[in-house]
Amino acid sequence: MAEQKTRNPRFVTPKGELLYPYLTEPDTKYNANGDFKAEMKLPEDAELIDSKGKNHGKIAEFLNQSIDDAVEKLGEEHNGKKKKGKTIKVTEADDPPFYLDEGHLFVKFKLKAHVEPQNGDPFNQAPALFDAKGKKANLSQNPWTGTIAKINFECVPYYNAKDAQAGVTLRLKAAQIIEPVFGGSATGDAFGFGEEEGFEAGDEPDADADVNPKETNSADPDKESDGFDDDDDEGDF
């Protein structure tokens, strides 16, 4: 009887803002087989639970410890071996799946859309999507930056033999879309624009209004300015 593979533990983030998500269609810019992915913006002290509801403390501390564990475990497996005449010493990977910036925690999740395992048949996969009520969501378009969601993921150790580096990747298994932003519903927040004093949509003049451009563009109604000073000495350019 074949040995049953143990499933990786799964974890759930609190609600956070998604940045550049690819949840309904994979991104193929850097990988022809495609990657589903999303970055999430959270408070730097945000905490993590597993799929059974157990609290695992602050996400940043959990991920740092997971990386340390991966380096130690994979180091025990590879340290001291010879490769091209050099002795292997496993170190931490240069690209951790999270970073801190100005009081916020940014976490990066990814899932390969097409997998070709060394042992077994190739297969396709995609993250499961749910709505705010926990019901399966079949989205007709991809959510945009600014969408509020929760992410269910696996924390998977990996070893890069080329550079003798170890780390973890956060495998995106599912997303609960709580406050979606789609193409036609995006607000200025999604582009980094906050509220300012000034023009408001709806204040535009009537398209049929009789407006004299000389009066609107120049303090002197007898002279319309284009913003440049006349200087005949400079010649054409």
The two counts, helices (H) then strands (E), for the chain are 2, 15
**What global pTM score does this model have?**
0.75
CA angle at residue 35 from 104 to 118, to 5 degrees?
125
CA angle at residue 60 from 19 to 128, to 5 degrees?
45
Q: Which of these, 7, 106, 29, 33, lies nearest to 63 by C-alpha position?
A: 106
**Which domains are delineated in the chain?**
10-184 (2.40.50.140)
User: Are 126 and 142 a contacting pair, CB within 8 Å?
Assistant: no
Q: Tokens 């297969």 correspond to what residue?
A: 123
The pLDDT value given to residue 232: 42
pLDDT in tens, 161-171: 999 999 999 99
CA–CA distance from 60 to each of 90, 96, 99, 105, 142 (Å)? 22, 11, 8, 8, 28
Q: Which of these, 18, 166, 26, lies nearest to 106 by C-alpha position?
A: 18
State which of 12-26, 81-95, 174-188, 204-218 shows the largest mean pLDDT. 12-26
| φ, ψ for residue 52, nearest 5 deg | -100, 0
User: How many percent of the chain have pLDDT more than 90?
Assistant: 69
- pLDDT category, 202, cuts 50, 70, 90? low
The 3-class SS string of 47-91 reads EEEECCCCEEEEHHHHHHHHHHHHHHHHHHHHCCCEECCEECCCE
DSSP-assigned letter for residue 215: H
